[in-house]
Structure 1
Amino acid sequence: MKSYLLKPYAHFVRRQVRNVSERAVLAQQETMGDLVRTARDTAFGKDHDFASIRNYDDFKARVPIGDYEYFKPYADRIKAGERDVSWVGRPKYFAKTSGTTSGVKYIPLTRESIPNHFGTARNALFNYIAETGKSKWLDGKMIFLSGSPEMDETNGILTGRLSGIVNHQVPAWLRTNQLPSYETNCIEDWETKLERIVDETINADMRLISGIPPWVQMYYERLLQRSGKSTILELFPNLEMFVYGGVNFEPYRDALEELVGGRIPSVETYPASEGFIAFQDSQHEEGLLLNADSGIFFEFIPAGEIFDENPTRLSLGQVETGVNYAIILNTNAGLWGYNIGDTVRFVSVEPYRLVVTGRIKHFISAFGEHVIGKEVELAMAEAAAKHNVRVTEFTVAPQVSPPEGGLPYHEWFVEFDRPPVNAEAFSRDLDAAMTRQNIYYQDLIKGAILKPLVVSPTRSGAFRDYMKSQGKLGGQNKVPRLSNDRKIADGLQR
């Protein structure tokens, strides 16, 4: 009944999505004005003279670009109980994340910003229904592999992981479809939690599965081990949809489709603790539709300028296709000029669709090559297809001072599910693919500054063990594709 009753609403959502996509630049201009007016009398607004902002040039002159380190003094004031710091009132939640030099990050979520997170996820799913006519997943069980929904308090502000916070926003009519149980979802240890999830879902009518691909793969493998089935579709014949985000799906596609027993329609999303940025609005067009009218004013900086003192700052109407940009957020949660560390590239401006190309901090430029995540993933995909290889996980690090002597090189740590028959030819073709992806890398190879890349196969389970050792097994955590140092490399070799 749900699939039948909700179809008209799905078409209403799709019309709204289309309308916003057609007026995205105007919507962004209006959003900037609304944000500045609302936050004018906050501490941040007064510190940065919001009262005098009339246009985007004024905005750029008054709002600096920064990351969490810049925002942290304001976050500390909010945590201490102060009101009207960077947004009116106090946040409803703090999304707690890690990974900065300051330790734990506390990202505010306000009553105004919460619809951006849950509402965008809803829009992505209902847009899919309206586009494809497929809605039977609403009549069965669905699972969202996520962090614990348990909350702490920070001076009266509920605090937890974003995926857990969003779990509290699931409407009552959908909760009857949702797995796992609340008690299982609260288990912190990923491997224990996974076993309980398998217990609760192995005999269920699963129709929608959502999560980060490497952890979904682990879930599928456990299901098949326990059930004795050959494929997930044998176990869940009504499985209709896969929703994912956080990492590029392509490196995991072959392994997941073999486990499933075929290709399942999918919807890609681009959520972050700081805001839900984009989602896949078409099963036929490349890229994710920018969330242009959801309380976020976006700015874009050419990726090569992000560390400059005065980088070029562009609004949506000024971007071009084919250029890597660092994406900057200004939000109705009280984040301003906030660099989330991601790089994106627009594949279309009518409408504005983008692909995520990597992380500002996840790159290799030990020799000036500035290799990014998208480049290594495309090179790996090309070489893997040519050699009929299947890769479980991989990461790349520079080897500046090889212990064996000789020229430096890029070292690729690869966990193979199906290794190449000819390892030397695979490495050679992988290196050739990289030279096609990055002209600076090509010049370094031709100039004998670097020798061709070296593939170092890892043992089975090495990446999972590494993530476990870092306390980042499961949930929304993912292995960085690239690093400019040897920390991950050293961790994998222990």
Structure 2
Amino acid sequence: MKIKSFLARPYASIVHSRVRKSMLTAVADQERILQYLLKTAAGTVFGKEHNFEQVKNYVDFKSAVPIRDYEAFIPYIDQIKSGGLNILWKGKPIYFAKTSGTTSGAKYIPISKESIHFHINGARNALLCYMAETGNTSFADGKMIFLSGSPEMERVGGIPTGRLSGIVNHFVPRYLRSNQMPTFETNCIEDWETKLDKIVNETMTENMTLISGIPPWMQMYFDWLSERNEGKKIKELFPQLQVIVHGGVNFEPYKARLLDSLGGHVDMIETFPASEGFFAFQDVPGKEGLLLNTDAGMFFEFIPANEIGNENPTRLSLGEVKVGENYALIVTSNAGLWAYNIGDTVRFISTDPYRLVVTGRVKHFISAFGEHVIGEEVEHAIMQAANQFSVHITEFTIAPMIQVAEGKPYHEWFVEFEQAPADLESFAMAVNDNLRQKNIYYDDLINGNILQTLKIRPMKKNAFIDYMRSIGKLGGQNKVPRLGNDRKLADALQEWVM
């Protein structure tokens, strides 16, 4: 056993014990954190505007601070960019995490000196819990890669600004620098395909033991490695590969193809990171659900997903959530976000401890006919059918087809198969039946002859890669939306339909 894996054992045991203890105090920790956040920010511009000195408890907080999305925070962000101090949080942010926006264009999410450590420690704790649970520490001696954004920073209002994954790259512990791949120079390349080409060249002869990234771009890395090496599986190239760390999107739609590419067993660790915070991680390998990070400088609220558009939605603290309900996740943090709607929906599978699954995006749904179909439901529907028909799905997205030349409206699925099923019509019917079982409103619309059975449009090979390239969002943390309630993405994809 080498020194890094040897030293990791006691450290993993200590952190694992702390995580287990925090499970028992989750609700109390949340109450304590809210009080700390209010007290610390009472003298800020935001705190004064919302009378934090008069806010004594969660009930007061709900009355004083409304739910906001990023657009509502822009005036405060602009003050920070203009050099303002003590705007959302004490002092100034040490970074802006730049991320893709919707109606507002690029978003600039503040990261404070207090919050940055929780971003780092979340990923660290995921790995250390894995070590403690499995006893496997040997991967710490091999080469590791995180398929991330560039660590190069620009300055916005004098504040270093970049992708979160690039910012985090600067905080990799010194003792792991010799293990990290690719080189810093390669990691700074902006063009994804140029960067990926360099990454493949640098890593394919190394002793890779851990690979981390968003599943679709991890798959692209695997495909390029295999093409360069006469079709070999990844485990043939990296026989000591032991751990895959993934997050950013639901793993299930990519799982079958990734496992096939691997060609052998590799342990999986799922995480739930975002620019706004490191929210949850899989603390027990192979166990469903991610442990909510309840003692990490963030206070969480939950809104029933079907109320997110309401003027005064129900707001619940952690102690009020129920297993099986779908909630929009709301975050208040030690970086200066207050009752911030991050845009993700979650469902608790346990409240002792608090473990959840990510079910989709608040703005990614189809409800053109009142069905409110969400990401979790469509992913379940197509993966069940894929297993039944023994096919692999590369990528897919869905949109409503409202204006039809004849017949009833329908849901249009754009699906890139690794190899299309022999009977596409039967496959589509299986997907349709699976979705009807998951969503009673969709089932009612089919039964009532309001909608006809969904239609699947097979896509050309690399269709979604080509589309993402065409809009300048290939690689990094960029993701293809699963669902759209309009035809914008669907219309843009038409040139890649088979």
- TM-score normalised per structure 2: 0.98
Q: Which runs of 5+ in 2 are unaligned?
A: none
1:45 to 41, 44, 47: 47
SS of 1:230's partner is coil
The residue aligned with 1:441 is 442
Is contact 2:268–2:286 with CA below 8 Å preserved after alignment?
Answer: no
Deviates more, 1:226-235 or 1:114-123: 226-235
- Distance in 2 of aligned mates of 1:340 and 1:124: 22
1:485 maps to a residue whose letter is D
Q: Offset of 1:488 from its aligned partner?
A: 1.1
1:103 maps to a residue whose letter is G
The residue aligned with 1:207 is 209
2:135 to 133, 142, 149: 133
Alignment of 1:405-420 (within 5 A): 405-420=406-421
- Distance in 2 of aligned mates of 1:188 and 1:428: 42
1:339 maps to a residue whose letter is N
Which stretches of structure 1, 4 residues or longer, exceed 6 Å deviation after superposition? none
SS of 2:457's partner is strand
The residue aligned with 2:366 is 364
2:114 to 112, 115, 119: 112
Alignment of 1:278-357 (within 5 A): 278-357=280-359
- Distance in 2 of aligned mates of 1:445 and 1:26: 47
The residue aligned with 2:246 is 244
* Alpha-carbon spacing, 1:277–1:400, altered in 2? closer, same or farther (3 Å): same
Deviations along 1:184-241, one digit per CA (max 9) or x if unpaired, are 0010110000000001001100000000111111101111111225211110000000
- Distance in 1 of aligned mates of 2:181 and 2:244: 15
1:364 maps to a residue whose letter is I
Q: Percent identity?
A: 60
Q: How many residues align?
A: 493
The residue aligned with 2:158 is 156
Q: Offset of 1:419 from its aligned partner?
A: 1.2
Deviates more, 1:227-236 or 1:359-368: 227-236
1:425 maps to a residue whose letter is S
- Distance in 2 of aligned mates of 1:374 and 1:470: 26
The residue aligned with 1:180 is 182
Q: Offset of 1:263 from its aligned partner?
A: 3.0
The residue aligned with 1:486 is 487
Alignment of 1:50-61 (within 5 A): 50-61=52-63
The residue aligned with 1:393 is 395
**RMSD across aligned C-alpha pairs, in angstroms?**
0.8
Is contact 1:142–1:207 with CA below 8 Å preserved after alignment?
Answer: yes
Q: Offset of 1:269 from its aligned partner?
A: 0.3
Deviations along 1:145-201, one digit per CA (max 9) or x if unpaired, are 000000011232111110000000111111110000010001011000000000100
Deviates more, 1:444-453 or 1:222-231: 222-231
- Distance in 2 of aligned mates of 1:153 and 1:213: 30
- Distance in 2 of aligned mates of 1:184 and 1:275: 26
Alignment of 1:457-468 (within 5 A): 457-468=458-469
Q: Indicate whether 1:422 and 2:420 are aligned.
A: no
Deviations along 1:408-449, one digit per CA (max 9) or x if unpaired, are 000000001021111111111110001001000000000000
* Alpha-carbon spacing, 1:206–1:284, altered in 2? closer, same or farther (3 Å): closer
- Distance in 2 of aligned mates of 1:485 and 1:116: 37
Q: Offset of 1:90 from its aligned partner?
A: 0.4
Q: Offset of 1:491 from its aligned partner?
A: 1.3
Is contact 1:301–1:311 with CA below 8 Å preserved after alignment?
Answer: yes
Is contact 1:229–1:235 with CA below 8 Å preserved after alignment?
Answer: no
SS of 1:99's partner is coil
- Distance in 2 of aligned mates of 1:287 and 1:231: 29
Is contact 1:68–1:100 with CA below 8 Å preserved after alignment?
Answer: no
- TM-score normalised per structure 1: 0.99
The residue aligned with 1:272 is 274
1:253 maps to a residue whose letter is K
SS of 1:445's partner is helix
